[in-house]
Chain A
Amino acid sequence: MMNYILSFVFCGAVCVIAQLIYEYTTLTPGHITSLFVCIGSFLDLFHFYDRLIEWFHAGAMVPITSFGHSLMHGAMKQAEEFGILGIAMGMFDLTAAGITCAILFAFLVAIFFKPKS
Chain B
Amino acid sequence: MCSFIKGSSFLFDHVYVTSCATVAGPMEKRGPLQGYFDQCFDDLYCGEKSFELAERRMAKRAVLHCLEKANQKMDDIDIYLGGDLLNQIVTSNYLARDFMRPFLGMYGACSTSALTLGTASCLVEGGLVNQALAFTSSHNATAERQYRYPVEYGIQKCETTTFTATGAAAIIVSNQKSDIRVEAVTFGRVIDLEQKDPNDMGKAMAPAAYDTLKTHFKDLNRSFEDYDLIVTGDLSKYGKQILTAMFEEEGQKVTHYDDCGCLLYHESQPIFQGGSGCACSALVTYGYLLEQLRQGKYHRILLVATGALLSPVMTMQKETIPCIAHAISLEAVTS
Contact = CB atoms under 8 A, between A and B. Distances in A.
Nearest to A22: B156
A98 interface: no
Interface residues of A, number: 7
B197 A117 contact: no
Contacts of B156: 22
Given A115-B141, A115-B150, A117-B141, A29 B44 contact: no
B100 interface: no
A116 B51 CA distance: 10
Interface in A68-117: 114-117
A117 B44 CA distance: 7
B155 interface: yes
B151 interface: yes
Contacts of B249: none
B152 A115 contact: yes
Nearest to B140: A117
Contact of A29 (B151, B155, B197): B155
Interface in A1-38: 22, 26, 29
Nearest to B49: A114
Interface in B156-202: 156, 196-197
Contacts of B151: 115-117
Say what secondary structure dominates the interface of chain A: loop
Interface string B43-71: 01100000100000000000000000000
A26 B150 CA distance: 19
Contacts of A115: 51, 141, 150-152
Contacts of A116: 151-152
Q: Indicate the size class of the contact surface on chain B.
A: 10 to 19
Contacts of A26: 196-197
Contacts of A29: 155
Contacts of A117: 44, 140-141, 151
Nearest to A29: B155
B45 to A, nearest CB: 8
B328 to A, nearest CB: 32
A115 B49 CA distance: 11
Interface in B180-226: 196-197
A22 B154 CA distance: 14
A104 B51 CA distance: 25
B136 to A, nearest CB: 22
B203 to A, nearest CB: 13
Contacts of A114: 45
A108 to B, nearest CB: 15
Interface string B139-156: 011000000001110011
Nearest to A19: B156
Contacts of B51: 115
A32 to B, nearest CB: 11
A14 to B, nearest CB: 16
Nearest to B159: A23
Nearest to B196: A26
Contacts of A22: 156
A29 B156 CA distance: 9
B151 to A, nearest CB: 5
B44 to A, nearest CB: 5
A25 B299 CA distance: 47
Q: In this complex, which of A22, A26, A117 has the most chain B Cβ atoms within 10 angstroms of its Cβ?
A: A117
Nearest to A114: B45
A112 to B, nearest CB: 14
A116 B144 CA distance: 13
Given A115-B150, A117-B151, 14 more contacts: A22-B156, A26-B196, A26-B197, A29-B155, A114-B45, A115-B51, A115-B141, A115-B151, A115-B152, A116-B151, A116-B152, A117-B44, A117-B140, A117-B141
Interface of B: 44-45, 51, 140-141, 150-152, 155-156, 196-197
Interface of A: 22, 26, 29, 114-117
Would you list the 9 A-B pairs with minimal beta carbon distance, nearest first? Answer: A115-B151, A115-B152, A117-B44, A29-B155, A117-B151, A26-B197, A117-B141, A116-B152, A115-B141
8 contacts: A114-B45, A115-B51, A115-B141, A116-B151, A116-B152, A117-B44, A117-B141, A117-B151
